[in-house]
Amino acid sequence: MRVRELVALDLASSAAIAENVRHEWDAANAVLVVDQRLPDTARRELIRGLGVHSVVDATGRTLIDRAAEPMNDGDAVVIATSGTSGSPKGVIHTHAGLRSASLASSAALRTGAEAHWLACLPLAHIGGFGVLTRAWHTGAQLTIHDGFDPDAVTTSDATHVSLVATAMARIDTTMFRHILLGGARPPATVADNVTVTYGLTESCGGVVYNRRPIPGVSVDIAPDGEVLLRGPMIMSRYRNPGLKSPVDSDGWLHTNDIGRFDDGLLHVDGRRGDMIITGGENVWPDSVERVLSRHPLIAECAVAGVDDPEWGQRVVAWVVKHGDVIPVLEDLRDFVTESLPRFCAPRQLVVVDSLPRTSLGKVLRRALVDDLTSPQ
């Protein structure tokens, strides 16, 4: 019997890569879109680590590993996670799952074949790839850009787009009928045509829109505060050998995010490992970042805990200044305590030129901490 392959598409985002996806699907293969920004070493490690059979690039098709584990019937895509630490995980989604996610998203947005979707996020990530499948499953028009370019986006006649916050800040949002905003923490306020999404690669992208689950999705909070998600679009399994699935026997995806319901709406406090314990008090970095981002002297900020002999961990703020005036620590502490308990206020301030981020705009807090604490 013919082996169902995992085929890596090492190609720039374009109509051609979409044609390659459809071609491999017609052949009953699954695809892995390779992020073109990866250095060569990282590409080779990704292809080897996720058991790719063949690679399609600008030179043609190359057999890599005939003996790699076959894909299952119905497998459609392997998405490499863009987590803030550790090696990428290969998340497998099925055709049925992609279809469910596409139709649920379109139902939540009350849109369908009349839409014109623009794909300008990396197709290697679920936020970009999901634009393709959403358009395909609803019959909507689709335009694909090779990356985000503000001028190209501005001149597009698309009506719908998926973006991350750093990209949205560079365009006039009124030109779109609807914007799906994912990735990093959203700005404090968004326009009426912007839908803030919550989800993971494992959940096939955003499945909670403006803090409400989309059709077919259930959300629960575990006794320890972890956010649980369930629905027909949840991942099938990981491609990495021996890696345990985060989906339990009842179909709940364990997100590793801590959250709560606030008047029936989902509020996500942050990743379980991001919480800072300082002087016995719990501090969520996202809460402090939301306050600091409103300060007139701060353009961008990140908050994390650093080991401290007195406090256990101290709250440290990394800020990119807005304008020529350098923020002062005591002023920022006073500013934070206007909205949060004083133990949430940063005890150390680091002014930086920029913040390290993933390709989807998530701040690499671990990189900031490592740079601060490593021997110079």
Map residue 267 onto helix, strand or coil: strand
Q: Which residues pair with 142 in a beta bridge?
A: 117
The more confidently predicted of residues 63 and 185 is: 63
Structure tokens at 187: 């700005």
Over the chain, what is the mean pLDDT?
93
Map residue 125 onto helix, strand or coil: coil
Which domains does the chain show, CATH number per domain? 6-85 (3.40.50.980), 96-270 (3.40.50.12780), 275-373 (3.30.300.30)
* Average of per-residue pLDDT across 365-371: 92
Cα–Cα distance for residue pair 190/39, rounded to 1 Å:
35
**Band of pLDDT at residue 87, cut at 50, 70 and 90:** confident
Q: How many CA atoms lie within 13 A of 239 on its CB side?
A: 34
The model's pLDDT over 138-189, given as tens digits with 9 standing for 90+, comes to 999 999 999 899 999 999 999 999 998 889 989 999 999 999 999 877 887 8
The more confidently predicted of residues 36 and 78 is: 78
**Band of pLDDT at residue 281, cut at 50, 70 and 90:** very high
Cα–Cα distance for residue pair 184/198, rounded to 1 Å:
10
φ/ψ of residue 245, rounded to 5: -70, 145
Cβ neighbours for 140, distance < 8 A, ≥ 6 positions apart: 111, 112, 113, 114, 115, 116, 117, 134, 160
Q: Kindly report the pTM of this predicted structure.
A: 0.84
